[in-house]
Amino acid sequence: MYPQQIHGYLRQFFNENNCPIVNGNEHYMTVQLTVEMDKKIMNRPFYWRYIESVNETPNPAQITLITNIQQLNEGVKGEVVHLGSPRLHQLFQVTKDMGSYVKMYEQLQTRQGEQAVLTPWLSVNYKISFRSQQTKEALHSLGINLMTGAVFQEFQGKLNNLNLAMEPPENVFNLPYIITPVRALDRLDAVIDRIVGEEDRNWAVESKKRWQKDQAVLDYFYEGQDVKPECYEIEKQAMEERFKPRITIEIVNGGLFYLRN
């Protein structure tokens, strides 16, 4: 992420959370936090416990975040934020926590007397990690039609082009789902399993080869010893943790969507 991307991200994040940007330019911003955001990111539970116990007027913090220190010449003091800085990492985590579940309705213009129909969908964004002594990740965005059970990939891209809101538009009929969201989630999980199953397995084969080679060296070292010492078992265990191929499936976020077909 370039400085301008990060700047854009921060601006959007604080706007969305009702934290006004009180000062700044394209290289830095000073943000007035809300009480809620202060509690989330400033890590001062004792202050908040005190304020709340004595019923004093809370004074949430202002923070200055610098996104491009090279371009800054006004002697602004603040935290330098870049990819990899703890602050940005923290805000990413907050974003993830606050953006995990949605229920959205597509907005349409209807003529007088006309009734439109919206179809329910479940969309889930999966992150797959392939791990052994090395790792790789993949992102899959799936959507399933809760009336027909049809599954689509790259669903998030489709959703991004629609005009969605949290409230249903007027004069629109939302079809009740036939497949329940919980059942639909099971189906998407099965689809993900199939996608994962079709992935190239060479990485796992390679890891197992390395594992066997190291195990052979270790066994040779203790050849002829019937009772093996503790450090043999420790090393064997370490080897398994290092080389054993495994796949982790994590859900980034997902939601219920009412869309025009």
Partner 1 sequence: MLIERSSAWQEAFIERLENREQWDSWTLYKMSYDISKNNLITDFKGLQSLKYLPNVTPLAHQLEVAERVIEEMNGKAILADEVGLGKTIEAGLILKEYLIRGLVKKALILVPASLANQWVEELQLKFHIPAMLYRKNFDLDYLDVVVMSMDTAKRSPHKEKIYAQDYDLIIVDEAHKLKNHKTISYTFVQNLKKKFCLLLTATPIQNDVFELFYLITLLKQGHLGSYETFKSTFSANKRDVEQDSFLNELVNQVMVRNRRQDTGIEWTNRQVQVIPVEFTDKEREAYELISGLKDVSSVFSGAFSTITLQREMCSSQEATLGTLKKLSADCRSTDEIAYVNEVIQQLGNLSVHSKAEKAVDLIIKANDKVILFTEYRATQMYLCEYFHSKGISSVLFNGKLSKNSREWIKHLFKQNAQVLIATESGAEGINLQFCHHVINYDLPWNPMKLEQRIGRVHRLGQEHDVHIYNLAIQDTIEDHILGVLQGKIEVFEKVVGQLDDILKTTKKSEEDVHVSATNPRISKTILQ
- Using CB under 8 A, which residues numbered 161 to 180 contact partner 1? 164-166
Residues 18-77 that bind partner 1 (CB under 8 A): none
Whose tokens are 């007397």? That residue is 113
Cβ 185 to partner 1 shortest distance, Å = 6
Rounded CA gap, 102 and 58, in Å?
A: 31
Element (H, E) at 221: helix 202-221
Instruction: Give me the 138-157 binding string for partner 1, x by CB under 8 A, dash otherwise.
Output: xx-x--------------x-
Residue 158's closest CA among 106, 102, 101?
106
Give the number of other CB atoms < 10 A from CB of residue 31. Answer: 24
Rounded CA gap, 31 and 19, in Å?
A: 6
Q: Which stretch binds partner 1 (CB under 8 A): 10-18, 28-36, 41-49, 111-119?
A: 10-18
Give the number of other CB atoms < 10 A from CB of residue 216. Answer: 10
Cβ 134 to partner 1 shortest distance, Å = 4
Residues 181-220 that bind partner 1 (CB under 8 A): 181-182, 185, 189, 193, 196, 201, 203-204, 210, 214, 217-220
Name which position in 44, 49, 96, 209 contacts partner 1 (CB under 8 A): 96
Rounded CA gap, 34 and 94, in Å?
A: 14
Q: In this complex, which beta carbon is closest to partner 1, that of residue 91 or of residue 172?
A: 91
Cβ 113 to partner 1 shortest distance, Å = 30
Is 50 within 8 Å of 57 (Cβ atoms)? no
Q: Which stretch binds partner 1 (CB under 8 A): 24-32, 55-63, 78-86, 142-150?
A: 78-86
The CA R_g of the chain, rounded to the nearest whole Å, is 26
Instruction: Give me the 214-253 binding string for partner 1, x by CB under 8 A, dash otherwise.
Output: x--xxxxxx-------xxx-xx-xx--xxxxxxxxxxxxx
